[in-house]
Chains A and B, each alone.
Chain A
C-alpha cells in the first residue's frame, strides 16, 4: 500500500498568496483528517471528513482556511490569503471504517511544510 500521500512536501510563499495542499488517503479508508503542527501549539485537528462529508471543522482557524473532499481519494486544504502565522507542518491522515475491525488507527502522511514569508 502506498500510504497517505501529501503534496507538496515543502512550500515557501509570500504573505497574501493562495496555498493549496493536497492529500490522497489510503484506498478503502473512509475518514480523512487535516492536522496542523507547530512548536507553540503542538498538533491541532483542523477538520475531518467521514465518507467525503465534513463532520467537524471547529478547528479551522478562520475563514481564510477551507477544505474539500470531492471524492474518496482526494482532499485539499486551501489557505487564502496566507499569513506568516500559518507557517507550520500540515498533516493529512486517514483511517479505516468503523466496521473494519481496525477502527481508531490513524495513518499519517509525511506532511507538507509551509513557510509564509
Chain B
C-alpha cells in the first residue's frame, strides 16, 4: 500500500539552528512527494515538491531530496526563523491511479528567539 511516516514532534529549536524533519514513504510505482506547511489558523500550503528520483525541491530556504534508494524525503533548512513555526506535513501522491494523496501525521515546529 501507500503511506508516509514522518518524525514525531513537537520540535523546538532556537533561531538560526539547523532543521531536519525526517520523512519516509511506502509506495508502489513512482509517486510524487511533497512537503506542506500549516501556519496557525490556516489551511495547508504547498512548500515544495519533487516528482522523480534525485529531484530536489526547494522553497523559502527549505530543501528536500527525493531518495528512491532509501524511500525518503527529509526536509531541511540551514537556519530557521521564528516565522517558520508551523506544522509540517510530508505527503505523496499517485496520479496514475486517480488522484490520491497520502499525508503523514504532521510535525509541529516551534522556533524560539
- Give A contacts to B, CB under 8 Å: 4, 31, 33, 42-43, 45, 48, 50, 55-56, 91, 93, 95, 98, 103-111
Contact = CB atoms under 8 A, between A and B. Distances in A.
A17 to B, nearest CB: 25
Q: How extensive is the interface on chain B, given as a class?
A: 20 to 34
20 contacts: A42-B103, A42-B105, A43-B89, A43-B103, A43-B106, A48-B100, A50-B98, A56-B98, A91-B44, A98-B99, A103-B32, A103-B93, A104-B49, A105-B34, A106-B36, A106-B46, A106-B91, A108-B44, A109-B43, A110-B42
Given A42-B105, A104-B32, A91 B98 contact: no
Given A31-B99, A48-B99, A42 B49 contact: no
B62 interface: no
Contact of A106 (B42, B44, B51): B44
Contacts of B98: 50, 55-56
A110 B101 contact: no
